[in-house]
Structure 1
Amino acid sequence: MGAWRLPCGWRLLFSMCFIGLLAEVVHGAGADALHPRLFPAEARTLRRIAAKIGVAHWNFSVNPCDSESMKCDCSFYNNTTCHVTGIFLKEMNFTSQLPPDFADLPCLLQLDLSRSLFHGAVPDKWAQMRLQGLRISDLRGSGSAFPDLSAMQSMKTLVLRNCSISGSIPSYFGDMKNLKHLDLSFNKLTGKIPDSFAKMGSVDYIYLTGNSLTGNIPEWLLRRNNIADISFNNFTMGSSGPTQCLQGGINLVESYSPEMISLNNINPCLKKNFPCAASNGQYRSSLHINCGDKEAIVNGVKYETDTVPKGASVLYVNPGSNWAFSSTGNFMDNNINDDSYIATSTSKLTIPSSQLYARARLSPLSLTYYGLCMHNGSYTVKLHFAEIVFTNDSTYCSLGKRKFNVFIQGKMVLEDFDIEQSAAGSGKPIMKTFTTYVTNHTLEIHFYWAGRGTTGIPYRGFYGPLISAISVVPNLGALDLQIGSFTLRQIKAATRNFDPANKIGEGGFGSVYKGLLSDGTIIAVKQLSSKSKQGNREFVNEIGMISALQHPNLVRLYGCCTEGNQLLLVYEYMEHNCLARALFVEQYRLRLDWPTRHKICLGIARGIAYLHEESAIRIVHRDIKASNILLDKDLDAKISDFGLAKLNEDGHTHISTKVAGTIGYMAPEYAMRGYLTDKADVYSFGVVALELVSGKSNTNYRPKEDFVYLLDWACVLHERGTLLELVDPDLGSNYPTEDALLMLNVALLCTNAAPTLRPKMSNIVSLLEGHTPLQPLLSDLSLAANSLSSSGLRRNFWQNPNESQSMTIQASRNNISDSSSLDVGGSLRPLVS
């Protein structure tokens, strides 16, 4: 019957009824029941709101409830009076602040202001509202604390997405028993997930993506089968680490701290769950995926099938465990169960290789493909795109705009990439090619929607990143083609005919010059001694193999020149010179903080581990020392001169009668007997690590007359239990003592007198990354000190100085006072202006 139905909300009380009756009298008893009127007080409120935010389409000359952006309940007072129950102002591009006046609409249950670009914070006055659904996204401004919504106990859907909200998540959400959908993505939230969340028994979707939440991921969250997304936060692993990458509908791959991933150089979840064993032949050197479609063969290359339909907070690993993809996020609307994560072309494609572009994988937020168990080295990545959702015609489907970012190995390679614009139209293929490096056997290709472009055209769920196919191939062949690509004329022009003013180094392998190519690239040119023509051919073959060794912690070899009697190597240029100068030369010293020193030490270890255990050609460097560790503009360590000594062929020990090395860094067995294994490099690394922590040169620091080397003193301090006395005074107290002790103990472990007791470089990397605990030193460290300080070892050096071309005696006798007295061992030392 409902002739005199009480208006919504207990707040109106019976006074609203009386006001409503007065309104009826004012409007006349003969009001047309077919045209109910908006309650006068709410009409005035809506006028204020419209004036403040600039809504022009609300027509107050008739009933504004007829607007698509408003929902009303007109069943009051014999169907003559309406109350506003919902307001939907989406994608309106407003410039004002959120008006507090919405709180003056007593029957308002739904408020959707998604992507309307309001400014400021959620008004305090809204705390008195009794909303069941609130959606706000892309709120501009400097940020604010979390709003008080505790009174909204009937809330079912809450979206506060990208609203610059900071601080911790309040605990009152646990009291919202009816909450079904919670989205707090892309704010500045910190702290832990509240324990009260465990009481939200009715919730179906939780999105906490893109915040700075910390702590362990709650066990109760992992046990629930909710579709939850907690990616792009700073969570830490528990003591046992993740047992799975996907648990209870929660994608854990992208959830951990970036620092943790950076430290490991690989996602910890993937590393634990998908380890690769080289001994089992599991490594691969190429990857081809037909994203979103079935297997296809194009130009003789088989692209693997990728037809898994699901995409919301999912991790999929292909049956061979050689690649995987991770997708996070949900499309911004109500119909989550209708989301599609594979796009299909609406028209028949006549383009070349059309089987790669008929379908594509789509993601609302983040889509990451992982190449697992890859050989380490340099690769060419080809990304195939075609816009198959939006059209070129004049229909509604032509209005959509897709923009997203692309990252490879964590580096942004495309920003606000628009497929249609880049390909000059829809349905047209475009391929983007990049060069990247794989370390730790994992390749990461990340597609990320940053909130730009359209979100509901032609349909909801078509605005995120889209990828048609991925191709990854090694660069070995291409690198070989670069050898010999530099002419002597180019080199002379770049170095001004080897002008002495451009000379930046001199070592056992030759002089080094700074050069500037015609395209503006700064290079370092190493001028080696001339050989016969037969020697030139052997030289090119050997350098061709060395140039194929590419790693972030190796100096890159661009190519060479063998014209006439010249043998020239062209390298990348290092802006911050070498580690020896950064530590030991007073006028060029860099005040390196502890994180930088740790980064340098770990980089050196990774570079040597690559040479010893991961590269196609296994190489013993023979001359690891501080002056052969170069530093780029970001103070990342890069090893120089690798492979210029005789290669360690076929993995066998090489007995050399011509020792190549430098006093103070050479392993005893190599210096005294010429016995060479990769453990000689391990010893040298230990000396460099000791210098890096102490800031002192191994050969030039003598605290007491009885000690020849810094290493001698380190062993004594270790026995006394006062090893931290070695830490560089420049650091003051600004370093973690546990980390410093770890690096010092690793250095001593590496310099063990017995080569068989020194660890492999991969084990050292694991120690420095914190994956492996440091075991007690395996032998008496004084044995190493005694070996180094013995008169026999020193006599062997001083009486046979001609046995090593790369060993500079003068540099080890004298204190290093300027750059001219540095033995760079042929390293590529840059000219500092």
Structure 2
Amino acid sequence: MVIRLLREQEEETENRGKKGPFFLLIFIIVFLSIFAFVFPFFFGFLYILGFQKVMGCFPCTGQSKKRTESGVNNDIKRKDQKKPTSGSLKVNSNGNLQKEDAAKDDRLSLDARNSNLKDQISENEINGGTKFAFGELVEATDNFSSNCFLGEGGFGKVYKGHLKRLNQVVAIKQLDQNGVQGIREFVVEIVMLSQADHPNLVKLIGYCVEGDQRLLVYEYMPLGSLENHLHDLPPGQKPLDWNTRMRIAAGAAKGLEYLHDKMNPSVIYRDLKCSNILLGEGYHAKLSDFGLAKVGPIGDKTHVSTRVMGTYGYCAPDYAMTGQLTFKSDIYSFGVAFLELITGRKAIVQTKDRGELYLVAWARPMFKDRKNFSRMVDPLLQGQYPSRGLYQALAIAAMCVQEQPTMRPAISDVVMALNYLASQNYDPQTHLAQGPCGSPSRTGAKRDNDKAQIASDGSVRD
């Protein structure tokens, strides 16, 4: 009996084990069928609910795909309008910003961008004063008549004109499309002069950007350039006297000091020469032509690495050899121009036997012996100069043209020394004219200083 019950229990357990997996399989199949049927409706409901909640954050909650895309585009426009570019946007009557036609874009800003200057200057810095129509400048110069022609340089031709709108005589520089300087220099000069304000820098009145035409309008300097008063003087033109030369040198140095020490950021002129020193009434000197100017080194940097630009004879040898531009590069150029003022010689002269002769190469050996000093001075002065003033002026020039840039003085020291020289008014009536060897023309007369000598390093010693 017991054995039979045990066998029945064993058989029941065995049958239950066989039926368990079968029922589990049936349950899984039924569950998956129900889940697959309900799943799309459940998550579709959640999706619709979430989409409506998100779209409720926008002012327009249209449901069409077309309208949604329109809303995204409008949002992109709003982001673009946060940073309008000069000349490319305008405000309509409703206060909304709209794009103008490309033809009406600020061409000066386009020039800056096309010249890869956008990383150096901002749109707000491009403010060159009055914008002139090309027709205005054609009328002002009588269609750029030869009678109005003043001169020509790397930028192009310069004309004298009269602007009726301002009732003012001006100088108009027209960019030569095939010239040495181009659009980049044009923009740099506008930016540079629009930020500068100094009595020894030429004033920019305005500009013209129309089609391919690029013109700059400056204040008119009636006495022309310093170069025209030193070299190849026409018959009857009176040479500059000693006092005027020292005043011109001091004025040019003050303009350079403003660029180096007063502007923010500081600027390296890079093209200081006699033809770029213009003279106004009373021989008031002003620096001009800033197309090659560069922002000076910032922070711990000692130089700016750049392509060598400038004028032969004025370019510092260290800059010419390495391309490393420093403020002392300008000091060298100033020293050459100052030597021209003292000697009347050009920065480079052509000789029959030695070819090109640089003024600095000619002057350096003569700095070592005071007996040479009187032979260095411009013969057109006819001995009417103070000997002490000559020695001091040569000392300044010698220091400025030192071969090692670290040996050249700072512009502030040059200004201080030249201000002193300019204040020492020389009167030919009360001082005896110097003879060809530096001695007074009258026997027994005492020299201002007969012991001063310039050492090879440019310093003055007795």
Sort the TM-score into its range (normalised by shorter chain): 0.5 to 0.7
Structure 1: distance between partners of 2:333 and 2:192: 24
Higher relative contact order (CA 8 A, sep 6+): 2
**Matches of residues 668-687 of structure 1 in structure 2 within 5 Å?**
668-687=317-336
1:730 pairs with 2:380: yes
* One-letter amino acid matched to 2:220: Y
Aligned with residue 195 of structure 2, among 548, 553, 561: 548
Structure 2: distance between partners of 1:728 and 1:655: 37
Q: Specify the alignment match of 2:289 in structure 1.
A: 641
1:660 pairs with 2:309: yes
Deviation at 1:545, TM superposition (A): 4.3
Structure 1: distance between partners of 2:342 and 2:228: 15
8 Å contact 1:583–1:590 — kept in the other structure?
no
* One-letter amino acid matched to 1:608: L
Cα distance change of structure 1 residues 594 and 508 upon mapping to structure 2, 3 Å threshold: same
Structure 1: distance between partners of 2:330 and 2:415: 14
Cα distance change of structure 1 residues 721 and 703 upon mapping to structure 2, 3 Å threshold: farther
* One-letter amino acid matched to 2:158: V
Cα distance change of structure 1 residues 585 and 609 upon mapping to structure 2, 3 Å threshold: same
Deviation at 1:762, TM superposition (A): 0.7
Q: Specify the alignment match of 2:361 in structure 1.
A: 712
Structure 2: distance between partners of 1:494 and 1:688: 33
**Matches of residues 743-758 of structure 1 in structure 2 within 5 Å?**
743-758=393-408
* One-letter amino acid matched to 1:505: G
Q: Specify the alignment match of 1:493 in structure 2.
A: 139
Q: Specify the alignment match of 1:190 in structure 2.
A: none
Structure 2: distance between partners of 1:650 and 1:661: 22
Cα offsets for 1:172-228 (capped at 9, x unmatched): xxxxxxxxxxxxxxxxxxxxxxxxxxxxxxxxxxxxxxxxxxxxxxxxxxxxxxxxx
Structure 1: distance between partners of 2:185 and 2:283: 35
8 Å contact 1:578–1:631 — kept in the other structure?
yes
* One-letter amino acid matched to 2:136: Q
8 Å contact 2:370–2:454 — kept in the other structure?
no
8 Å contact 1:528–1:568 — kept in the other structure?
yes
Q: Specify the alignment match of 2:411 in structure 1.
A: 761
Tell me whether 557-566 or 678-687 shows the greater mean CA deviation: 557-566
* One-letter amino acid matched to 2:171: A
Q: Specify the alignment match of 1:741 in structure 2.
A: 391
**Matches of residues 81-230 of structure 1 in structure 2 within 5 Å?**
none
Cα distance change of structure 1 residues 508 and 541 upon mapping to structure 2, 3 Å threshold: closer
Aligned with residue 515 of structure 1, among 158, 161, 172: 161
8 Å contact 2:148–2:160 — kept in the other structure?
yes
Cα distance change of structure 1 residues 733 and 701 upon mapping to structure 2, 3 Å threshold: farther
Structure 2: distance between partners of 1:520 and 1:585: 34
8 Å contact 1:607–1:638 — kept in the other structure?
yes
Q: Specify the alignment match of 1:37 in structure 2.
A: none
Q: Specify the alignment match of 2:234 in structure 1.
A: 587
Structure 2: distance between partners of 1:692 and 1:487: 39
Structure 1: distance between partners of 2:320 and 2:188: 29
SS at match of 2:218: strand
Cα offsets for 1:279-327 (capped at 9, x unmatched): xxxxxxxxxxxxxxxxxxxxxxxxxxxxxxxxxxxxxxxxxxxxxxxxx
* One-letter amino acid matched to 1:605: A
Deviation at 1:554, TM superposition (A): 1.1
Please list every run of 5 or more consecutive structure 1 residues that lacks an aligned counterpart in the other structure: 1-477, 782-833
Cα distance change of structure 1 residues 569 and 757 upon mapping to structure 2, 3 Å threshold: same
Cα distance change of structure 1 residues 691 and 541 upon mapping to structure 2, 3 Å threshold: closer
SS at match of 1:634: helix
For the aligned residue pairs, the C-alpha RMSD in angstroms reads 3.2
Deviation at 1:670, TM superposition (A): 1.5
Please identify runs of 4+ aligned residues in structure 1 that moved more than 4 A.
478-482, 535-542, 701-707, 775-781
SS at match of 1:498: coil
Deviation at 1:646, TM superposition (A): 3.8
Structure 2: distance between partners of 1:598 and 1:488: 40
| TM-score, normalisation: structure 2 | 0.58
Structure 2: distance between partners of 1:647 and 1:493: 36
1:561 pairs with 2:208: yes
* One-letter amino acid matched to 2:232: V
Cα distance change of structure 1 residues 727 and 662 upon mapping to structure 2, 3 Å threshold: same
Structure 2: distance between partners of 1:689 and 1:755: 17
Please list every run of 5 or more consecutive structure 2 residues that lacks an aligned counterpart in the other structure: 1-123, 422-451
* One-letter amino acid matched to 1:712: A
**Matches of residues 290-689 of structure 1 in structure 2 within 5 Å?**
483-518=129-164, 519-529=166-176, 543-587=190-234, 589-648=237-296, 650=298, 652=301, 653-657=303-307, 659-689=308-338
Cα offsets for 1:556-575 (capped at 9, x unmatched): 11111112222211111111
SS at match of 1:505: strand
Structure 1: distance between partners of 2:152 and 2:253: 25
Structure 2: distance between partners of 1:540 and 1:664: 26
Cα distance change of structure 1 residues 735 and 703 upon mapping to structure 2, 3 Å threshold: farther
Cα distance change of structure 1 residues 688 and 485 upon mapping to structure 2, 3 Å threshold: same
8 Å contact 2:328–2:410 — kept in the other structure?
yes
8 Å contact 2:270–2:329 — kept in the other structure?
yes
SS at match of 2:158: strand
Cα offsets for 1:457-494 (capped at 9, x unmatched): xxxxxxxxxxxxxxxxxxxxx99766243222211111
Structure of greater Rg: 2
Structure 2: distance between partners of 1:697 and 1:538: 26
Cα distance change of structure 1 residues 525 and 603 upon mapping to structure 2, 3 Å threshold: same
SS at match of 1:724: helix
* One-letter amino acid matched to 1:515: G
Deviation at 1:593, TM superposition (A): 1.1
Deviation at 1:714, TM superposition (A): 2.0
8 Å contact 2:368–2:453 — kept in the other structure?
no
8 Å contact 1:687–1:747 — kept in the other structure?
yes
Structure 1: distance between partners of 2:188 and 2:394: 40
* One-letter amino acid matched to 1:618: S
8 Å contact 1:686–1:747 — kept in the other structure?
yes
Structure 2: distance between partners of 1:748 and 1:754: 12
SS at match of 1:575: coil
| TM-score, normalisation: structure 1 | 0.33
8 Å contact 1:619–1:642 — kept in the other structure?
no
Q: Specify the alignment match of 1:146 in structure 2.
A: none
8 Å contact 1:503–1:513 — kept in the other structure?
yes
Structure 2: distance between partners of 1:731 and 1:674: 38
SS at match of 1:743: helix
Structure 1: distance between partners of 2:188 and 2:410: 29
Return the structure number with greater strand share.
1
Deviation at 1:650, TM superposition (A): 3.8
Structure 2: distance between partners of 1:661 and 1:541: 15
Deviation at 1:717, TM superposition (A): 1.8
SS at match of 1:508: coil
Residues matched between the structures, number: 297
8 Å contact 1:752–1:779 — kept in the other structure?
no
Identity, % of aligned positions: 42
**Matches of residues 220-259 of structure 1 in structure 2 within 5 Å?**
none
SS at match of 2:389: helix
